[in-house]
Amino acid sequence: MSFILYIAYAIAALALLVAVFLRFLARRSLGRLALCLVLFGLFWDNLILALGNPIGSGPLLLALSLPRFYLHQLFLPWIILTAIEHAARGGATWAEGRRALVWGLVASLALMVTGIMTRLVGLQLEPAVMDGVQRYVATTSKGPPLVSILGIGFLGLASFLGPRKRGWHWTWAFVALTFVIEGVPVEALRRGAGSAVELALMGSLLIYDSRARHS
C-alpha cells in the first residue's frame, strides 16, 4: 500500500509548492525560485510513483518517469541558493553580499553539470516493482548520488553554521535525519520514510522563510 503514501506525499509537496510560490510572488528572490523548482521536482516524483500501479509498466509510465530523473539532477542543485539566501536573512555575514550570491550560482551550476554527466548522459530506465510500487529505475547510474549528497549536505552545513534562532535548527536536524535514513537496510522503510523527511525538510525551509527578517 506504499502507493497510497505517495499520493499523500504528492499532495503535501503540491501544497508546499503553492505556499512557496505565493511567497515568491510577494517578494521575488532566487532562493525562493530555487525552492519552487525543487518542490516541483519532489511533487512530480511522488505523483508518478503514486500513479505507477494504476498506469502499469509501458510507454506512458516510461514517458512520465523520465522527468523524475531529469528534474532531480537539474533542479536540486539550486537548493544551494536557497540555503545561502536563508542564512543571509538570518544574519549570517558569510552569506551576505554579491560575492556569496555569485559563488552560490557557480556552485549550483557546477553541481547541475555534475548531475548531468554522472546521471543523465546515457540514461536508461527499466521497469521494476519496489516496495509494492510499479516504477522505472535507472540501470546506468554509477557512483554515489553526488547531487543529493552535496546539495542537501550544503543545506545542512549552511543551516548549522547559520542563525540558531527562528527555527533554522530544524533544517539541519532534518538534513541529518535524511542521511541517517539513507542507511536504513529495509528498502520499503527507507523509501517511505525518506520521502516524508524530504517533505519535512522542505516545510522547515518554508517556516523559516516566513519568520526570517527581510522576508
Q: Classify domain 2-211 by CATH number.
A: 1.20.1070
Neighbours of 193 (CB within 10 A): 17
How much of the chain exceeds pLDDT 70, in percent? Answer: 91
Question: At 2, is the secondary structure helix, strand, or coil?
Answer: helix
Share of the chain above pLDDT 90, in %: 63
What pLDDT is attached to residue 186?
Answer: 63
- 116: DSSP letter: I
- Distance between CA atoms of residues 24 and 163, nearest Å: 22
Give pLDDT tens digits for 13-66.
Answer: 999 999 999 999 999 999 999 999 999 999 999 999 999 999 999 999 999 999
The answer to whether the Cα torsion of 107, 137, 68, 116 is positive or negative is positive
pLDDT at 164 over 70: no
Strand-pair partners of 134: 129
Instruction: Report the alpha-carbon distance of residue 124 to residue 101 in Å, rounded.
Output: 35
pLDDT at 60: 97
Rounded to whole angstroms, the Cα distance separating 173 from 12 reads 20
For helices 146-161 and 59-75, angle between their N-to-C axes, nearest 10 degrees: 40
pLDDT classification of 132: cutoffs 50, 70, 90: confident
Q: Are 114 and 74 in contact (CB under 8 A)?
A: no
Q: Are strands 133-138 and 125-130 parallel, antiparallel or unpaired?
A: antiparallel
Summarised one tens digit per residue, pLDDT across range 75-99 is 999 999 999 998 888 778 888 899 9
Per-residue pLDDT tens for 181-197? 877 666 666 777 788 88
Radius of gyration of the chain (CA): 17
pLDDT surpassing 50 at residue 215: no
Which one-letter amino acid corresponds to residue 84?
Answer: I
From CA 21, how far away is CA 32, in angstroms rounded? Answer: 7
d(CA 15, CA 207): 13
Model pLDDT, residue 187: 63
Mean residue pLDDT of the chain comes to: 89
Q: What beta strand segments (E) does the chain contain?
A: 125-130, 133-138
Tell me, what's the pLDDT at 180?
Answer: 86
Mean pLDDT on 151-173: 78
Specify whether the CB–CB gap between 40 and 19 falls below 8 A.
no
Sketch the domain layout of the chain as residue ranges.
Answer: 2-211
For residues 3 and 47, give the distance between their C-alpha atoms in angstroms, rounded to a whole number: 9
Residue 68 pLDDT > 70? yes
Cα distances (angstroms) measured from residue 50 to each of 43, 44, 68, 206: 10, 10, 13, 24
